[in-house]
Structures are given as C-alpha cells and as structure tokens.
Amino acid sequence: MIGNTTGTKKRHRIATNSRLSSTAAIIDSSRPDGTLTEVSHKPLPSSSSIRRSTTRHHPPLPLAPTVSNGFNDPTTADVILRLYLDQSSPFDSDDSETQLAVDSSSEFQIYLHSSVLRRSKYFAALLSDRWKKDSGEIDYYRFNLAVTSSSVNNSVSNSINNHVTVLQLLYNNDLSSAIDTASTALELLPIALELLFEDCVTACVRYLEAVPWTEEEERTVLSLIPLLREEESAELLARVSPPKSDLSEEMLHGLILTAIHNHPNMAFAKAFVAKLLRDFSSRESARRVLDKSFETSLNVVKESLEEYSSPEVFRGEINEMEAIQRLNLHTAMTNGRHLLWLIERMIELRAADTAVKEWSEQASFTANLQRAFRDDAWRNMVPGLPSVVMRCTCKLANAVAAGVILASRQVRMKLVKDWLPVLIVCKDNMTPMLTNHKSLYLELEETFLKIISTLPMSEAQELLQQCLSFSTRNVEDCPHLVSAFTTWFRRANRQLQGDHYQLS
C-alpha cells in the first residue's frame, strides 16, 4: 500500500495477498528542511519481546552496513530510505495502557542510488519525473518504507533484515549466490513481489522449482503461487497439483502391479504398499484400485486354467504339450498368490464386497479347477496350487461367515454351490505329505457349513447333501458336520401352528 504516491505502477498479478500489503513508501516532501517525518506507531503483537517506554523520544536512526558495491554509501547516494517497522497489527491489545515499542535496531536509514533502484519497477515509479527531490544543501530523494513481519511467528528483526537483503540484491547481478535455501527464497520472494523486483522474483522461483520443500514450506509456496504470473508458477503448480482427478488411484494401481509383479524384494514392497493402502485418505479410491487389480489377476488365473484344460491347446509333440501345461500351471500359481494378497488387503480394508460377488460367479472357472485337480500333472509341476486357490476361497468365505462382508443370500448360496465341489475334489486328491492342506480344508468345511446355516432350508438341504464327504471314519472326528445336520433337522421338525412355531 503506497501513501502519497499516486503515480506508482503495480505489477499485474493473479491475486493480492494481505501479507504483502505491509510495505509502504512515502515521499517525504512535507519537511522543507529535509528531516524525516515522525511516524506514529500502533502497538505490536503481545508476543513481541521488544518493550516500549512511555516517552515518545526517538533515538537517532542506525545505518545499515555499508558494502563495497555502493550499497549504503552516503558519499555517492542520491536516495535516503528510512526502513522502519509498521506496528499496525490485528493482535493489538484492548488495554490502552499496554504499549509496546520498537527498539532502535528496528529502524534503518539507508543511502541508495536511484540508478540502481530502477531495477525495481516499484522504485522506478517513485523516481519518475513527477517526483522532485527535496530542497536543501544535498539533493536527495527521501522515502519511507514501512515493514511488518510476514507472519505471527516471524521475528521483527528477520522481517527488517529480509527487506535489507532485497535492497542489497538490487546492487548484485548474481542473485543466485544469495539464495541458497528454500526458506531464504520464501522469505525474499514476497518482498521482491511487492517491490516488483523481477530479477529477484525469477531467481527465487527458479530456486524453489529445483529443491525439495518441507511440509510447512510447501504451504507457504501454495500461498504465494496466486501472486505469480502463470508462466512463473507453472513449474511450482506442476509439483503440487495433480493434472487429473484420478492420479492417486492411477499411482496406487501402478504400485500394486510393481509390488506383485516386478519388484525384486516382493515381500518388502508388498508390506509397504499394504501400509499405503491402510493409510490412504479415500477408502473408496482404495476399493476401486483393489477391485481393478483383483479382476486383472483373477482373469489371468482363469485364462491359464482354461488353456490348461482345453484339449485343442495340446495338439503337437508330447514335449511341447508338457511345456505348455507347465507354463499355464505356473502362471496360474504365480497370479493365484497375487490374488491371495489382494484378497487379504481387501478384507483388511473391509472392501471385499465386489470380490466376494465375483468369486461366487465362477461356475466355468471352478469346473476347470476340478478337471485340473483330478489330473496328476499338477502334483509334480505346482503342488501348492490347490492350497493357494482354496486359501483365496477360505479368506472370502470366512469374511462372509463372520459378517465382515454382508453378502446377499444369492451370493452366499452361489459361493458355496460353486466352490464346494472344488473343495471335495481337493480333499479326494490331497497328497498325504501336505498335511497343512488338511487343516485348510477342515477350516473351509466349517466355514461352508456356517454359511449354509444362513440359507433357506430348501437351499441348505441341497447343499448339505453334498457335504457327506466331510464325514470321517469316526463320527466324533467331524463335530461340525454333526452340528450342521442337527441344526437343519431341528428346523425341519419345527411346525408353524397359528402365529407360533412349535416343535413336533
């Protein structure tokens, strides 16, 4: 905000920022003797450590250090700039007796050169022909430049020093040497924008484009971007603004594919991606990404089993046929493991509804699995394939039985109907050495029986008849099967009389 400088040209920006409105220059033409006009001060924020006395005496203004390049050289200068603290603050105390003052170190009198100041379009406007120098023994332009701290947490001395630094940079052609940290660039950029010091703005933006930021620095960058021209802010915006709305989902999907397919340390990569999924802000986005990955892996497993089970694929030499069989089974095995990991993540996030529905609609896939597992070829090629496929089924079925996934009656019925025959084939063709498969199959038996108990009695009757294969030589060894039939017969013997059910 400029006082008494109606001819000042403003730098056209996208928006204004109240943080930058604290700098003001005043042409000190009211005093014919060339002295500085006294400026009244409002109290500083109560957090300031600089105390004020009750007297209004102003000590002599200190001078900024003189440097060899001409900055603050009174022997050659033709501009006197008073740089002082503007104490206007929204945090002023309501107590009129509470006063805070500025230490003399918060004000500087600086000798500058109009030829250098014209690098700033702001000063170039002030130095235009319409403004005349003060009368007196020495011809000087006299300006007052008011400064407030850029934030509540920024110290007064830092704010003053940053303004002095920007003024010094007017004398420096190598601006990059003074901008060596992101925090420095962010401190100088608002001042350079206010003074319309284009070279400094460019240097600050160029530095910020090239270095990492802390989270706090990124917030500051975002607050300054609206003040930059479109071409200046393009690179900064590209870093923090997604070019499309689904970029996060695209990134997550790519990470999942890399973790399960290409990363050499697959276990570590999967653990890291699992954490990203747990911590992801949008559960719906994570669900969509997992659904997409699940469908991809499931299709690969299904196609591999289809090719393995299709007779026309194996026309040719015996060696060639065996190689194709082995390749298809290994492909199914590898992607089956990926599928299991995805299902675990989906259940963990309670986002497996679509997966359960999809798994319950695999009549063709389960038929191919039954044909494949009745063949002995898988035993030597991929002995763990039945376990991987049935673990996927068990994970989903357990989530349904436990109420983690609220599946419809139709989905529950089809899940058991399609996958129960696969379980029976796996049990019948189980290798005695693979005892861990036995516990898996027993767990799945119990889970299927729990789901059957949630179905209408007519559907439960049909499915329970297929569960006789769960029985063992000793009836006492299959209590889950005994309990399931006991429950069904208890319900079957219950008759409705009037408005009440009674046991027959």
> Is it the case that residue 53 has pLDDT exceeding 60?
no
- In sign, the C-alpha dihedral spanning 218, 223, 228, 231 is positive
Number of domains making up the chain: 2
Q: Kindly state whether residue 39 falls inside one of the protein's structural domains.
A: no
Under the banding of pLDDT at 50, 70 and 90, the label for residue 8 is very low
Shared domain check, 489 and 380: yes
Q: Kindly state whether residue 26 falls inside one of the protein's structural domains.
A: no
* Final residue of a structural domain among 239, 259, 285: 239
121-150 tens-digit pLDDT: 999 998 886 555 554 545 788 898 988 765
pTM of the model: 0.65
Q: Kindly state whether residue 461 falls inside one of the protein's structural domains.
A: yes
> Is it the case that residue 48 has pLDDT exceeding 80?
no
pLDDT of residue 176: 84
Give me the CATH number covering residue 208.
3.30.710.10
Shared domain check, 289 and 404: yes
* % of the chain at pLDDT higher than 90: 50
* Final residue of a structural domain among 239, 261, 281: 239
**Angle CA 22–24–28, to nearest 5:** 155
Q: Kindly state whether residue 142 falls inside one of the protein's structural domains.
A: yes
Average pLDDT over residues 379-388: 89
pLDDT of residue 431: 62
Shared domain check, 223 and 149: yes
> Is it the case that residue 304 has pLDDT exceeding 60?
yes
> Is it the case that residue 45 has pLDDT exceeding 70?
no
Shared domain check, 388 and 252: yes
Average pLDDT over residues 16-22: 36
Shared domain check, 149 and 186: yes
Q: Kindly state whether residue 427 falls inside one of the protein's structural domains.
A: yes
Q: Kindly state whether residue 500 falls inside one of the protein's structural domains.
A: no
Shared domain check, 299 and 214: no
> Is it the case that residue 457 has pLDDT exceeding 90?
yes
> Is it the case that residue 499 has pLDDT exceeding 90?
no
76-120 tens-digit pLDDT: 999 999 988 876 644 333 443 333 334 445 677 899 999 999 999
Shared domain check, 264 and 207: no
SS3 of 110, please? strand
Average pLDDT over residues 392-398: 97
Shared domain check, 477 and 432: yes
Q: Using the 8-state DSSP alphabet, how is residue 178 labeled? A: G
Most confident option among 365-374, 411-420, 428-437, 467-476: 411-420
pLDDT of residue 21: 36
- The H-or-E segment that residue 409 falls in is helix 409-428
For residue 421, which of 480, 384, 466 has the smallest C-alpha distance?
466
Strand pairing report for 79-85 and 141-147: parallel
* Final residue of a structural domain among 204, 239, 274: 239
Average pLDDT over residues 241-268: 85
pLDDT of residue 432: 58
> Is it the case that residue 292 has pLDDT exceeding 80?
yes
Shared domain check, 259 and 143: no
Q: Kindly state whether residue 202 falls inside one of the protein's structural domains.
A: yes
Q: Kindly state whether residue 474 falls inside one of the protein's structural domains.
A: yes
144-193 tens-digit pLDDT: 898 876 543 455 667 888 999 999 999 998 888 889 999 999 999 999 99
207-238 tens-digit pLDDT: 999 999 999 999 999 999 999 999 999 999 98
- Domain span at residue 226 reads 79-86+105-131+138-239
Average pLDDT over residues 446-456: 96
pLDDT of residue 192: 94
d(CA 73, CA 78): 10
d(CA 487, CA 469): 18
> Is it the case that residue 272 has pLDDT exceeding 70?
yes
Task: Kindly list the strands in the beta sheet with 24-27, ordered across the sheet, starting from the edge strand earlier in the chain.
Answer: 24-27, 141-147, 79-85, 108-112
Shared domain check, 475 and 356: yes
pLDDT of residue 47: 30
> Regarding predicted confidence, which is higher, 158 or 300?
300
pLDDT of residue 158: 78
Shared domain check, 449 and 323: yes
Q: Average pLDDT over the chain, rounded to whole?
A: 78
Average pLDDT over residues 416-435: 83
pLDDT of residue 296: 94
User: How many CB atoms are located within 10 Å of the residue 52 CB?
Assistant: 17
d(CA 160, CA 330): 70
Give whole-number Cα distances, 258 to 253, 264, 275, 282, in Å: 9, 10, 15, 21
> Regarding predicted confidence, which is higher, 170 or 497?
170
d(CA 356, CA 362): 11
Per the structure block, which two tokens stand in for 485? 């039939």
Shared domain check, 378 and 305: yes
Long-range contacts: 492-500, Cβ < 8 Å, 24+? 492/457
